Amino acid sequence: MKRELIAGFSVLVFLTSCEHKKEEVAQKKAVCITDSLAKIISIDTVKTTNMQDELTLSGEVSFDENRVVKVYPFSSGQVTDVRVSLGDKVSKGQVLAVMRSADVAGSYTDLSATNADLSIAKRQLAQTEYLYKNGISSERDYTEAKENYNKAQAANTKIQEQLSINGHGNTSASGQYVIKASESGYIVEKAVTPGSFIRQDNAASMFTISDMKDVWIWANVFESDISKVKQGYAAKVSTLAYPGKVFPGKVNEVSSVLDPDNKVMKVKITLPNPNMLLKPEMFTSVVITNSEQTQSVTVPASSIIFNDSKNFVVVYKSKCELEVREVNVIKTVDNVSYLSSGLKAGEMLVSKNQLLLYDALTEE
């Protein structure tokens, strides 16, 4: 009799437990999106797009070499004064440096000599012309005097042109040579100091002036990543100087050879620089983004829930028909997650505040 009672009680407990479990399952299935919850969530549609890949490179800022003016000395001499520093803003015609040149002083000496020769030749020509017209001098004498005058005039003109070309009118008979800016901009390179001696065979420029309206970013690509970078790929440039600020651009040029020193390939990115934020020699981080031909299911990265070493999403079918589904993420690029399984294009999912629904659907 006791055994029968115990068996009956066990059956009753089992049935009661089953009823509780059925009620719990029913409660879990009854999770719905209320009107107040609908205001704080977002629903997105699953899409199929080309996969994108990102490559992070290191680089540095350089001035646009197509928009610079290099200032060269036209005569040898010694620099006596430098009036600008690296990074200074200069205006067209502003004095950059002053030098003393023996070549300039010698040219002025030659100019004085040719002026004297020209004056003598001019007087001789006038006298010979007077005598020739009065029948005292021969035509040969007159022609010879005219040729001498022309030669003296040509020699004088040559020296004047040399002074004009070599000094642009910024020279004096004492040998002083004033170097001025030929364009407005910023001093991005400076290769002289007071006391520097400039030789005629020196091919280096004294100053480089750039307007800095555009800058170049030179990024380094290692040999293993060369196939991942092509001309036209999108680029995002960031610097230590401006945390959180991204400068968008495109790859304009890809080098055909590796740098012999560090064995990397150089890629160039041209960026506008309207506020002069980017300065030459700044270090940069460059993220190159390219679109692959392979297609994949994509969802907003914000919709992914990571829990217990797995990735989940909340699938939306209707306000009261929601489902937690596991997905496999291939990679995440630019706030987009690419999936290998778990969802199909056209399905909908909750992409904002989905954790509230996830907790409600998965609570035990």
Instruction: Quote the percentage of the chain above a pLDDT of 70.
Output: 90
Summary mean pLDDT of the chain: 84
Span 316-329, average pLDDT: 89
Phi, psi of 186 (to 5 degrees): -120, 145
- pLDDT-derived band at 318 (thresholds 50, 70, 90) equals confident
- The pTM for the full model equals 0.57
44/298 Cα distance (integer angstroms)? 11
56/287 Cα distance (integer angstroms)? 4
Phi, psi of 104 (to 5 degrees): -65, -45
- pLDDT-derived band at 207 (thresholds 50, 70, 90) equals very high
Span 263-279, average pLDDT: 90
pLDDT digits (tens, 9 = 90+) for 108-145: 888 889 889 889 999 998 888 888 888 887 888 888 98
Full 3-state SS string of the chain: CHHHHHHHHHHHHHHHHHHHHHHHHHHHHCCCCCHHHHCCCEEEECEEEEEEEEEEEEEEEEECHHHEEEECCCCCEEEEEECCCCCCEECCCCEEEEEECHHHHHHHHHHHHHHHHHHHHHHHHHHHHHHHHCCCCCHHHHHHHHHHHHHHHHHHHHHHHHHHHHHCCCECCCCEEEEECCCCEEEEEECCCCCCEECCCCCCCCEEEECCCEEEEEEEECHHHHHHCCCCCEEEEEECCCCCCCEEEEEEEEEEEECCCCCCEEEEEEEECCCCCCCCCCEEEEEEEEEEEEEEEEEEHHHCEEECCEEEEEEEEECCEEEEEEEEEEEEECCEEEEEECCCCCCEEEEECHHHHHHHHHCC
**23 is written with which tokens?**
């009620």
* One-letter identity of residue 213: K
